[in-house]
């Protein structure tokens, strides 16, 4: 991928897209194309077609998506399914029509069955029922992955897919109604410390295990795949290590300096019991993560909440 190659980063203002931009610029790529959602509604087929005809990008990184945590996923089920299907269908189809040299589609680890064997290998896709609370988002991402495979099979397109684990980092969403577990914990403990609350409530039992990857590590892995991977099968991106929600809460409590207690609300859902990705395929391609969880969370907290 030449340093002057025209690269379109879809979703460049999101946490993932902005990390991709930072990594590409750091690597010397300078011919980068972006559009805000106000400038280009990616759900609009005609608008996306006009954009591709105008810009004619050589490479596409598809990081645009409607995203959210367990509450948002379960509340706005139709929006999550429709919006994500439209975004990815338009970009992937236009990439084929305009001869894009390579496209990277970013999915999510939620595409895998709720009770998949652990750690989760790429071939476990479509071997069991999904987690009900985020099924619409997962189905959309599965459709995007399969669409990339189909365009590769039918048209010979070099469209690849990567499935990241749970992400955190600069530009994360800290809205308690729509955020994922880690940013939600950071905000809860920070506000509890500031307001001197005696306890913090955590949803569920605290026993589910989750894997977390800093978004800058994800961006580095994506660039590695763009340069070194050209196959149809998806690739998991993660650390290969996980932590219980209870231990994560303790870690966040320690980092934020909160001294109160933690109460687990067992009336609230836990979600998937465990979600750890098998990352041996990516390791075989020569990539492993570099940012430890404690170090990454501490830095994110300082950046997002430092007064």
Contact present, 85 and 140 (Cβ < 8 Å): yes
CA atoms within 13 A on the CB side of 257: 9
What element of type H or E holds 84? Answer: helix 77-97
Per-residue tens of pLDDT for the chain, all 307 residues: 999 999 999 999 999 999 999 999 999 999 999 999 999 999 999 999 999 999 999 999 999 998 877 777 778 899 999 999 999 999 999 999 999 999 999 999 999 998 899 999 999 999 999 988 889 999 999 999 999 999 999 999 999 999 999 999 999 988 877 678 899 999 999 999 999 999 999 989 999 999 999 999 999 999 999 999 999 999 999 999 999 999 999 999 999 999 999 999 999 888 778 889 999 999 999 999 999 999 999 999 999 997 5
Whether the CA torsion 206, 207, 208, 214 is positive or negative: it is positive
* Calculated CA dihedral for residues 36, 37, 42, 47, nearest 10 degrees: -80
From the list 29, 137, 229, 301, the catalytic residue is 137
Backbone φ and ψ for 200, nearest 5 degrees, come out as -120, 130
Contact present, 37 and 48 (Cβ < 8 Å): no
Per the domain annotation, does 70 fall within a domain? yes
Per the domain annotation, does 193 fall within a domain? no
Residue owning tokens 């303790």: 250
Q: What local confidence, expressed as pLDDT, does residue 173 receive?
A: 84
How many domains are there within the chain?
1
How far, in Å, are 60, 84, 136, 277, 305 from residue 133 at the CA level? 30, 16, 8, 20, 29
Per the domain annotation, does 179 fall within a domain? no
**How many whole angstroms from its chain centre is CA 53?**
28
| CATH number, domain with residue 72 | 3.40.50.720
> Is residue 29 flagged as an active site residue?
no
Indicate the burial class of 36 (C-beta count within 10 angstroms; 0-12, 13-18, 19 or more): exposed
Per the domain annotation, does 14 fall within a domain? yes
Q: What local confidence, expressed as pLDDT, does residue 307 receive?
A: 59
Nearby residues of 264 by Cβ (< 8 Å), 6 or more positions away = 201, 202, 203, 204, 205, 206, 246
How far, in Å, are 5, 222, 224, 245 from residue 204 at the CA level? 47, 33, 37, 9
Q: Which residues are annotated as a binding site?
A: 11-17, 106-109, 141, 164-167, 180, 188, 203, 210, 270
What element of type H or E holds 195? Answer: none
Per the domain annotation, does 257 fall within a domain? no
Per the domain annotation, does 233 fall within a domain? yes
Looking at the chain, the number of H-run helices and the number of E-run strands are 10, 13
pTM above 0.85, yes or no: yes
Q: What local confidence, expressed as pLDDT, does residue 278 receive?
A: 98
Contact present, 136 and 80 (Cβ < 8 Å): yes
Q: How far apart are CA 40 and CA 66, in angstroms?
A: 15
Q: What local confidence, expressed as pLDDT, does residue 271 receive?
A: 75
Per the domain annotation, does 200 fall within a domain? no
Domain that holds residue 229: 7-171+213-241+278-291
């Amino acid at each position: 991928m030449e340093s002057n190659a025209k690269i379109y980063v879809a979703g460049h203002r999101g946490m993932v897209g902005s990390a991709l931009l930072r990594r590409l610029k750091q690597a010397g790529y300078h011919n980068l194309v972006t559009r805000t959602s106000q400038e280009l509604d990616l759900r609009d087929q005609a608008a996306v077609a006009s954009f591709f005809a105008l810009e004619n990008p050589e490479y596409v990184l598809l990081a645009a998506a409607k995203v959210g945590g367990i509450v948002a996923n379960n509340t706005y089920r139709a929006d999550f399914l429709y919006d994500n299907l439209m975004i990815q269908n338009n970009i992937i189809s236009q990439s084929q029509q305009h001869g894009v040299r390579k496209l990277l589609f970013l999915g999510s680890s939620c595409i895998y069955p709720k009770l998949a064997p652990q750690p989760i290998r790429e071939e476990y896709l479509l071997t069991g029922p999904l987690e009900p609370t985020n099924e619409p988002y997962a189905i959309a991402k599965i459709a995007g992955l399969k669409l990339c495979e189909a365009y590769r099979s039918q048209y010979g397109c070099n469209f690849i897919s990567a499935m990241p684990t749970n992400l955190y980092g600069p530009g994360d969403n800290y809205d308690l109604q729509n955020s994922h577990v880690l940013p939600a914990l950071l905000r809860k403990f920070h506000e509890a410390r500031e307001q001197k609350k005696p306890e913090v409530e955590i949803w569920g039992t605290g026993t589910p295990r989750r894997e977390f990857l800093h978004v800058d590590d994800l961006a580095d892995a994506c660039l590695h795949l763009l340069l070194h991977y050209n196959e149809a099968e998806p690739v998991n991106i993660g650390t290969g290590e996980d932590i219980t929600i209870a231990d994560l809460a303790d870690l966040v409590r320690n980092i934020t300096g909160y001294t109160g207690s933690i109460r687990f609300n067992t009336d609230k859902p836990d979600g998937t019991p465990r979600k750890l990705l098998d990352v041996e395929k990516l390791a075989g391609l020569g990539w492993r993560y570099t940012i430890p969880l404690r170090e990454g969370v501490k830095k994110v907290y300082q950046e997002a909440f430092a007064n």
